[in-house]
Amino acid sequence: MFEKILVPLDGSAVAQGSLPCVKALARSFGSTIVLFHAAEAPVELDRQEKYAKETIDRIRSLAEGYLAGVAKTLRRQRFKVEMEVGLGGVARSITDFAEAEKVDLIAMSTHSRSGPSRWMLGSAPDRVLRHAHQPVLLVRPTGETPVDAKPFPLKRVIVPLDGSQAAQAVLPYVQEVAKALKLEVVLIQVISAETTVQFTPMGPDTWAIPTDVVQRIDVLASGYLAGVGKELERQGISVRWDVLRGAAAHSIVEFAKETPGSMVAMTTHGRSGLRRWVLGSVADQVVRASGEPVLVIPPGAAAAD
């Protein structure tokens, strides 16, 4: 499934935060890890064209030297590695390269170096998520990650669903990852105990959903998850499911915190209308807040055999 995993790096140890999870996937799938650096020349060079080529060549040389060092360490750990330095804007370079080289997965840290060139959600990773046609794995590191760090000890995949076919688009990926890494799959659906209705231009009103209605929804959700779970069990996958109550993103993040060694896998779109999961809503909030890796599947992405 993940024959080529693209790992954008910027030279910082924080940007290397995705490597432990990438190693776990690459080892199980026999993937080639493609190390990528986007060499973005300073804006001032536009006014000093005669120095532009020399400066870009120097930036490229430094980037190639850094990537070569990372590649050497990964190869010692018996991973297949390729390297590439792109020129131009970070996010555009990443998505263009991923498309041209038919990359199967983009894996990156949500935070990187500080200062004007920092990567943070709302910057490069955010734009990659919005424009990539491939699945994107995002990891929010708690500190610096050495290149020789051990693979992330994945134990399970948490899959938030909302009853829609769009949200279930993640399941083929989950099935393949769970089989390859021998992971447990945990299906969850979050039921809100209140609803918001806009009655007047002054603002929305929040109403508590009656307890008996919540209970009926709980039963329906449990039946839905059980049906999805049984299909996965037929594939030889260990599955369990749970219905949670509360705000969707918060409930997903808290559930993941309680089950260390998890990866959250979800789509950027779910049910249409007021319950829609869009980047900037539930998926975005989970990526921002989760301390666990998050695999995000964009609309229309098809899992490769």
pLDDT by position in tens, the chain (length 305): 899 999 999 888 989 999 999 999 999 999 999 999 987 765 555 555 656 677 777 888 889 999 999 999 999 999 999 999 988 788 899 999 999 999 999 999 987 544 444 455 457 888 888 888 999 999 988 788 999 999 999 999 999 998 888 889 999 999 999 999 999 999 999 887 554 444 556 555 555 555 665 567 777 888 999 999 999 999 999 999 999 988 888 999 999 999 889 999 998 865 544 444 555 478 878 888 888 899 999 876 656 55
Range(s) of the domain holding residue 41: 4-139
> 35 pairs with which residues across the strands?
7, 83
Q: Domain total for the chain?
A: 2
Verify that 129 and 161 share a domain, yes or no. no
How many of the other CB atoms lie within 10 Å of CB of 216?
11
Verify that 218 and 290 share a domain, yes or no. yes
The enclosing domain of 262 has a CATH number of 3.40.50.620
Verify that 161 and 116 share a domain, yes or no. no
Domain boundary among 104, 139, 174: 139
Sheet holding 239-245, edge to edge: 80-87, 32-39, 4-8, 105-109, 136-139, 294-297, 262-267, 156-160, 184-191, 239-245
- Considering the domain boundaries, does residue 90 fall inside one? yes
pTM reported for the whole predicted model: 0.84
Verify that 211 and 270 share a domain, yes or no. yes
> How is residue 52 written in tokens?
């532009």
Verify that 54 and 104 share a domain, yes or no. yes
Verify that 176 and 105 share a domain, yes or no. no
